[in-house]
Structure 1
C-alpha cells in the first residue's frame, strides 16, 4: 500500500505576521517557514506504518511553489520515499475546495491507498481540506485521530470527541485520516537521510498533469475569497498597582468601574 501524506508549509509559530500592501494577504518576504506541526504527526504515522511493513511506500503531496521544496526535503530526510510538488499558475488563489481537488487528483495519480494529513493548518485553522479530499474521492474519513491501527484492508481509529468522550471508529481502506496532537512523537532527520534528500528529484505536477480543469481550481474556482486581513487593535500598556492591599483593591475597583467600564 502507498500512503500519501498531505504536507503544507506554514509560517513558524514564533513569526511576526505582517499584512501585505493589498490588505488581503500576508507579507511572506521575511517569514520563517516550517512544516505544519499537525502534518508532522501525519508524516510520522505514515513512516511508522512503513517501518512496520504495513505500507510499502510513503509519498508526500504538497501544493506550493519552489519555496516549499525545503519543507518537502525535510520530510524526505525523515524517511518519506518520494514527493511531488503540485504547482501551476492556475492554482493561485485556491480556497480549501480547490486545494482538496488538487490533492485528490494527485493521490489518484500516485495510486495512494491511504491519505494522512494534519487535522488543520496552523496558519488558517480551517480544518476543511482532509474532509473535502475524502468526499471528492468517495472514501471514508476520520478526523482528529490520535491512534491508528491497520489490519489488511481495514482500519481502526481513536479520536477525542470532547467532554472526555473517546470514540473508536472502524472502516475500510482506502480512507482519509487527519492526525491530532499526541498521535506520536515526530522523529528528527538523520544525517544520511538529509544527504539523500538533497539529491532526490521532486517532480512537479501542473493542472494538465493532474487532469484538472483550470476553471475548477485557483481563484477561478474559488467559492470563498479572502477580502481583508487586519491586525488586532493596539491595546494600551497594562498597569501595575502598588501599595497596601486595601488601597490597591479600592483603586482596582475604581479603574474597573470608571476606565474599563466593566462594573
Structure 2
C-alpha cells in the first residue's frame, strides 16, 4: 500500500511533543531553516538526518514515504501549460488518500494487494506515490479505479483542463468559487485519455464529479458503490456532458482483467 508521507509525520509528532521547529532542529543538530524544508517536504533528509529525526520523534523510517518535492517538477514538465506560468490547484481532500487506499485494501485485498504490487514495480514509483498522496478521492472505489489506471500504465502529470478543450461549465475551487480551469491539476494520462479527479463545477449549485475524462471529447465518469443513492443522479446532467456510471461490479471485473493480463505477461 502507499505509505504515509515522512514529512507530514514529522510535523504531527513534533507538535504532539510540543516542540517548536527550532527546538527540534537544535536537538537534531541542524538549522531551523533546514528543519522547515524537511517538514514541508521541500527537501528530503539525508540518511544521517533521517536517523536523528527518527530517534528524536520515535519514528521508523521504512514505514513512511520520503518523496522529494522535486517530483512535482517532473509532473509539471510532462504537462504543457496553457498560460506562461499557470498556478497549481489541488482539490480539497476531506480525508487523506492513504485512508482511501487503505479502505480499498481492506475491502478487496485479493485485488488491491496485487494491483499495488504491480504499481510498486514501476520505475517511476516515487512520482506515482507523490501523485497518490496529493490526489482528492471520495471513496475506496475511486482509489481502486486509480490503481487500475496506474496498473495499466497511466502516467501522472499536472495539466490545466482548459488546455485540453472548452468545458460547458466553469471549473471552480469550491472553497471560494474562483475559476480554476486554467490552473494545473493532477491528472492521469493513459494513451490519449486524460483523467481528472474530484473536479467541482459551477451550476445551479456546486457540482463535483468523481472523474472528468478527456479523450476526443469531455465526459464524466461516476463511480457508484453498492449503496449508491440514485435519487441524486439527475444533477449530474446539469454539466451538459455525457455521464458514464462505473459500478462496483464492473470495476472489480476490470481489476481482475488487468491482473490476468499482467500474470499472463
TM bucket normalised to smaller: under 0.3
Given the two structures, how large is their TM-score scaled by the length of structure 1? 0.23
Higher relative contact order (CA 8 A, sep 6+): 1
Q: Which has the higher strand share?
A: 1
Which protein shows a greater Rg?
Answer: 1
Q: Which has the higher helix share?
A: 2
Given the two structures, how large is their TM-score scaled by the length of structure 2? 0.23
